[in-house]
Structure 1
Amino acid sequence: MHTAAEESVQACPDCGTEIRVHGRFSAWCAACDWNVDPAPPEERPGRLARAQRAQARRYGERLLAELTAGGTLRPRRDASSVLAYALALAVHAVTVAVTGAGIGFLIRGWGGFGMVPGALFLTLAWSLRPRLTRLPTDVPVLRRADAPELFTLVDQVAVVVGTRGVDAIAVDSSINASVVTYGIGDRRLLTLGLPLWEILTPQQRIALLGHELGHYSNGDTRHRRVVATAYRSLFTWEYFFHPYPDVTLLTVTINVFYALPRWILLGLLLLLDRLTLRGAQRSEYLADRLAARAGSTEAAVELFDRLLVSRSAEVTLMREANASSVRGPRTRGDDDRADGLWERLAADLRSVPDHERERQRRASIRRGHSVDSTHPPTWLRQTALRIGPPVPPAVVSDAGRELRIGAELTTVRRTVARRILRDGYGD
C-alpha cells in the first residue's frame, strides 16, 4: 500500500519550477523536461537491429504524415511486396538446390568419397528447411472446451475486424501478445502474456484482441509463411557464417573467408526488411484502427500507455520472484502468494501516479520506444489513433463475462504465477 507520505515537493534545479517527488519514481520537471529520461542508454543493438529501427521510424513518420494530410489506410499489394515474395522464393530455391546437391553426391557416390559432402549438404538443407510453427509445449495452451467464454469473446472481436477466431490460446509470462499460423493448414494460435492481460481493463483487453486478430485481415506479408520462413533461413545462413570471437591464425583465416558471404547475407536481410517494412508498418497502423473499432479509440490509446509502463510491471514481478527465492524451500504459503500475485501486480500498476506516466510518455518519444525494431514508435501510433473522431466500442464486456473468463483462467493464472515465483522473471 503506497501512501501520500511517499510524495514531497522540491524546486527543479534547472528552471526552479516546483515539482512533486515520489519516493518510488524518478524526480523530473514537466516545465523543462529536466531528468525526464534518467535511465542510462540502452545497450546498442547490432547493425541489423539499428538499421531496422531507423527504417521503422522513417516509414512510421511518413505514414503518419499521409494520415495527417487526409490519406487513408488500406491493405496494399504493391511492387515491394511482390519483390519480397520473389526474394523469399529465391531463398527457398537455394535450400532446394542444396538438397539436390546432397542427394546427387549420395547417388553418384564417387567411390564412397561423395558420401561425406552428400551428408553435409543434406544436414545443411535440413537446418535451412522452412519450419512450420508448432504449438508450444512449455506453457499452458487452451482449447475451446477449456475456456468457452474467452473464445466467444475472441470470436466476437474477430467478426468486428473481418476475420475468424483462433484455434488455440497459449498463455505465457510475457508482457506481450501475438498471433501466428501453426501446423498444416490455416490453424491459428493467439499467445497472451498473462502479466499484460492482468493489468488491462476489459475494454483494453478487447482492443488488444482487435489489434492481434487484425493482422489476419490486413495482408501483412511478414505474417505470410513464404516470407517468414525465408527470414528464418537467412538468419540460419547468417549464423553459420558468424565470425569466431577467438583470435587465432585459424579463426582469423576463417573469418576473412566468411566476410563476403556474411555481408551478402546481411544485405539480403536488409533488402527483405526494406521490401516488407512499409507493408508491416501499414499493417500495424491498420491493426491499431481495428483495435479501436473493437474496443474504442480511448481503450486503444490507453493500451499503449499500459505498454509504456510495462517496465514497472517487470520490476514488480522480479521483486516478487526475488522475495520468493529468499524464503527458500517451497511452503504452503507459496500457493497463497502465487494466487495473489496478479492482484498485487494490478495494484502496483494502479498506484503509478499520473506524473510518472507522463514522464514515461515523454521519455518514450525521446527514445523512440516501440514494441520491437519493426513496429512504428509507440507515440506515432497513439497520434495516428487520435486523428479523426473517436470511435465507440463495437464489443463491450460486462462484469458477468469478466468473472466467467476469470474463472476459466484460474488454473492458468496459478500455473504461470507459480512458475514466475519458482524460476524468476526476466532471467
Structure 2
Amino acid sequence: MDGRFTAWCAGCDWNVDPEQSREKLSRLARAQRVLARRHGEKLLAELTAGGTLRARRDASSLLAYAVALTVHALTLALTVGGIWYVVRGWGGWGMVPGVFFLGLAWTLRPRLSRLPENSPVLTRADAPELFALVDEVAQVVGTRGVDAIAVDAEINASVMSYGIRGRRLLTLGLPLWEILTPQQRIALLGHELGHYSNGDTRHGRVVAGALRSLSTWHYFFLPVANPEPLEALANLFYIVPRWLVGGVLMLLDQLTLRATQRAEYLADRMAARAGSTQAALELMDRLLTADSAAVTLRREVNTAAMSGPRGSRNDTRTDGLWERLAADVTSVPEHERERRRRVGTLRGHSVDATHPPTHLRHACLLIGEAAPPAVVADDDRERRITEELSDARTKVARRILRDGY
C-alpha cells in the first residue's frame, strides 16, 4: 500500500471519504450542488431513454435572455438618467446625482474580454504545429480554430471570445496540459472547442454580461462588517435590495443551468469524437486527481524556497519541473483513482456548480458505441509542440516557483 494515499476498503467502502466530515459548503453552494446533480441526472435519463443532447433554444433560454436584457436596460437607464441630470444641472449641485448615476453605470457596463496581460500568449507564427493541431480538432467538432492561445499556471483549460470582433482565445493551463497523454490532450481540445457550437447560453455575451452586472450589484449591497451606527442602519436598508438582487441572480443562474449542463455533455461528446471515448474518460479521471498535481506543485515551491535565494532557486528547480509533475501524477495507483471516483459519486463532484457531476458525465460517454479517435497523436508533432511551448513552459514554471501555488 502506498503511504501517500488513503487506506480504504473497496468491498465495503470503509474510509473511502475520510475528508467528507470536514467539507464545509455554504447554503448556496449546497443548493447549487443539489440542483446540478438533479439537472444532470434528468439529462442523462433523457439520453438513456433515447433522447438527444442537440443544443436548442428552449423556454428557459428565452426567459434568461429576457431577464438579462432587463438587467442591461437598467444599466442603460442609469446612463441616460445620469446624462440628463448632468446636462440639466450643469455647473451646479444638480450635476452630483448625474455623476453618481454615470459612475454606477460605468461599473455595471458590459465588458469585452481582453487578452491576458500576465500570461504568455501565442500566435500562429509562434506555434504553427500547436495551431495546426487545434485546427484539425476544430474541423472534427464542427467549428473553426482559435486566434490566440494563452498559457497559464492553472490546472484547467478554457475558451472565450475577446475584443469587438469576437476573436477566439484558448487558454491552456500548463499543469493540466503536462499531466495528460497526447491523446488525452486531443480530447481536451475537443471538449473546449466544442463549447463554441453547443448552445451554452450562460457564456454568451448577453447573459454573461448580465450575470456580471448582477454580481456587482450584489457586492454593492453586501453588509458592512463590524458596523458603526450609521453603517448598521445602512445594512438594514440594504437587506431588501440585496435579497432582490440575489433572487434575480439565482433566477438567471437556474434558467441557464440546464443549457449549460447540456453544453458540457455535448462538449464531452466532442472530446470523444476527437480523441476517442477512452481518451475522454481518461481525461475525466485525470481531473479527479487534479489535487495531486496541486500538492506536487506546492511541494516544489517549498523545496525551492529552502534551496536558496529567490533569484537562484528558479534556475535550479525550473528544469524538469513539468517532468516531475507528470511523473508524480502518473504514479497515482489505480486503487486511489477508484477511491476518488467513488468519492466523486458520493459527493456529486463536479468541476464547478455549473457542470454535471463527473460520474454522470462518465456514464453519459458510456452510452452507445465507443468512438474511435478522429485525430491521432503523432510523436513528431508532439515533440515540435513541446519545442514551441518551451519558452512558455519556462516562464510559467518560474512564476509558480516565485509566487507560490
Superposition pairs of residues 137-152 of structure 1, within 5 angstroms: 137-152=117-132
CA deviations 1:207-252 (Å, max 9, x no partner) are: 0000000010111111210110010000000000011111432222
> Which residue of structure 2 lines up, in the alignment, with residue 93 of structure 1?
73
**Equivalent position amino acid for 2:330 in 1:** R
Superposition pairs of residues 305-316 of structure 1, within 5 angstroms: 305-316=285-296
Q: TM-score, normalised by structure 2?
A: 0.97
> Which residue of structure 2 lines up, in the alignment, with residue 192 of structure 1?
172
Among 174, 178, 182, the alignment partner of 1:202 is: 182
Tell me the distance in 1 between the aligned counterparts of 2:79 and 2:259: 32
Task: Specify whether residues 395 and 410 from structure 1 end up closer, same or farther in structure 2 by C-alpha distance, changes over 3 A only.
Answer: same
- 1:252 matched to 2:232? The reply is yes
Among 316, 323, 340, the alignment partner of 1:360 is: 340
> Which residue of structure 2 lines up, in the alignment, with residue 409 of structure 1?
389
Tell me the distance in 2 between the aligned counterparts of 1:46 and 1:95: 30
* Unaligned stretches of 5+ residues in structure 1: 1-20
**Equivalent position amino acid for 1:278 in 2:** R
Tell me the distance in 2 between the aligned counterparts of 1:279 and 1:258: 32
- 1:303 matched to 2:283? The reply is yes
Tell me the distance in 1 between the aligned counterparts of 2:213 and 2:389: 37
- 1:172 matched to 2:172? The reply is no
- 1:104 matched to 2:84? The reply is yes
**Mapped contact 2:304–2:313 kept (Cα < 8 A):** no
- 1:159 matched to 2:143? The reply is no
> Which residue of structure 2 lines up, in the alignment, with residue 51 of structure 1?
31
Q: Secondary structure at the match of 1:316?
A: helix
Q: Secondary structure at the match of 1:254?
A: helix
Among 370, 387, 404, the alignment partner of 1:390 is: 370
**Mapped contact 2:314–2:402 kept (Cα < 8 A):** no
Tell me the distance in 2 between the aligned counterparts of 1:129 and 1:368: 35
**Mapped contact 1:134–1:183 kept (Cα < 8 A):** yes
**Mapped contact 1:48–1:270 kept (Cα < 8 A):** no
> Which residue of structure 1 lines up, in the alignment, with residue 268 of structure 2?
288
> Which residue of structure 2 lines up, in the alignment, with residue 76 of structure 1?
56
> Which residue of structure 2 lines up, in the alignment, with residue 135 of structure 1?
115
Q: Could you tell me how far 1:43 is from its partner in structure 2?
A: 5.0
**Equivalent position amino acid for 2:240 in 1:** L
Q: Could you tell me how far 1:333 is from its partner in structure 2?
A: 6.1
**Mapped contact 2:141–2:270 kept (Cα < 8 A):** yes
**Equivalenced residues, count:** 405
Q: Could you tell me how far 1:334 is from its partner in structure 2?
A: 3.5
Q: Secondary structure at the match of 2:196?
A: coil
* Unaligned stretches of 5+ residues in structure 2: none
- 1:344 matched to 2:324? The reply is yes
Task: Specify whether residues 333 and 104 from structure 1 end up closer, same or farther in structure 2 by C-alpha distance, changes over 3 A only.
Answer: closer
Tell me the distance in 2 between the aligned counterparts of 1:313 and 1:48: 28
Q: Could you tell me how far 1:24 is from its partner in structure 2?
A: 0.8
Tell me the distance in 2 between the aligned counterparts of 1:46 and 1:38: 20
Q: TM-score, normalised by structure 1?
A: 0.92
**Mapped contact 1:52–1:273 kept (Cα < 8 A):** no
**Equivalent position amino acid for 2:148 in 1:** A
> Which residue of structure 2 lines up, in the alignment, with residue 229 of structure 1?
209
**Equivalent position amino acid for 1:122 in 2:** L
* Pairwise CA RMSD: 1.3
Tell me the distance in 1 between the aligned counterparts of 2:22 and 2:135: 39
Bigger fraction of residues in helix = 2
Q: Secondary structure at the match of 1:216?
A: helix
